[in-house]
Structure 1
Amino acid sequence: MLNVLQGIPYQAEGMGKRKLVDEKHLLVMQIALRAGQAVPQHNANSNVHLLVLSGEVTVTIDNDGHMLKQGDLLAVAFKSAMSIKNIGAQEATFLVIKTPNPCEMQK
């Protein structure tokens, strides 16, 4: 068992992250952003769901912005261009749930 609200992987520079689940059909990562930090634009390498645990982030998907706060869940389609930024004054952490695991998308 792991409490995802303990040991949150914040970093002084850039995003913090840790892998929570790494199985054939599921990858779950926890991302931690201090105020102003961001996940650079990239293409989703699987079907992705983002679940905000604390703070507020803006998620841009194919140039469409979404403001998410604690408890919000957002789906991101495979290959969509996406970026995430902590727009609040407080730290933010969220889960990135990928199904299937991106390693399976290559097969």
Structure 2
Amino acid sequence: MVEQVFKFSTGNEKAVEKLIMDENVHYIHMVFNKEEGLPEHYSNSNVYMSVIRGKLSIDLDDQGVHEYDAGNLLKIPKGIKMNVKNLNEDTLELIVVKSPAPSNM
């Protein structure tokens, strides 16, 4: 078998699943319920964030919270302060890709 297969959760429970963390790319699956999210942090690489379901509430560099529905893809440069939350009732599901892979992880 040439391909590698990675399984990720398909439910509504909170999850931060680091599926691929190699020298090329970091591929992370995230699920957050209302009022859940990530600790405030700075992006350590270019971040590509796909909203799979729900609505993302995100504050980048203190510009105020913007909301993005499913079907949106955000490109966030390295070094940006990020506050990622689900402020809505529906479950939020994200795919986060960091490229190039951060060297300090």
TM-score range, shorter chain: 0.7 to 0.9
**In structure 1, what is the Cα distance between the partners aligned to 2:49 and 2:24?**
17
Identical aligned residues as a percent: 22
The question of whether the paired residues in 1 share the 8 Å contact of 2:12 and 2:33 is answered with no
1:10 aligns with 2:13: yes
RMSD (Å) for aligned C-alpha atoms: 1.9
- The 1:9/1:22 distance shift into structure 2, 3 A limit, reads farther
The alpha carbon displacement at 1:10 in A equals 2.3
The question of whether the paired residues in 2 share the 8 Å contact of 1:52 and 1:68 is answered with yes
**C-alpha deviations, 1:78-97, integer Å up to 9, x for none?**
01000111021011110111
5+ long unaligned stretches in structure 2: none
Amino acid at match of 2:91: E
SS in 2 for 1:39: coil
Between Structure 1 and Structure 2, whose CA radius of gyration is higher?
A: 2
Give the paired residue count. Answer: 99
- Which residue does the alignment assign to 1:67? 67
The question of whether the paired residues in 2 share the 8 Å contact of 1:52 and 1:93 is answered with yes
Q: TM-score, with normalisation over the residues of structure 1?
A: 0.81
**In structure 2, what is the Cα distance between the partners aligned to 1:53 and 1:71?**
6
5+ long unaligned stretches in structure 1: none
**In structure 2, what is the Cα distance between the partners aligned to 1:84 and 1:69?**
14
- Which residue does the alignment assign to 2:97? 97
The alpha carbon displacement at 1:38 in A equals 1.9
**What does 1:10-89 correspond to in 2, within 5 Å?**
10-11=13-14, 16-64=15-63, 65-89=65-89
Amino acid at match of 1:91: T
Q: TM-score, with normalisation over the residues of structure 2?
A: 0.82
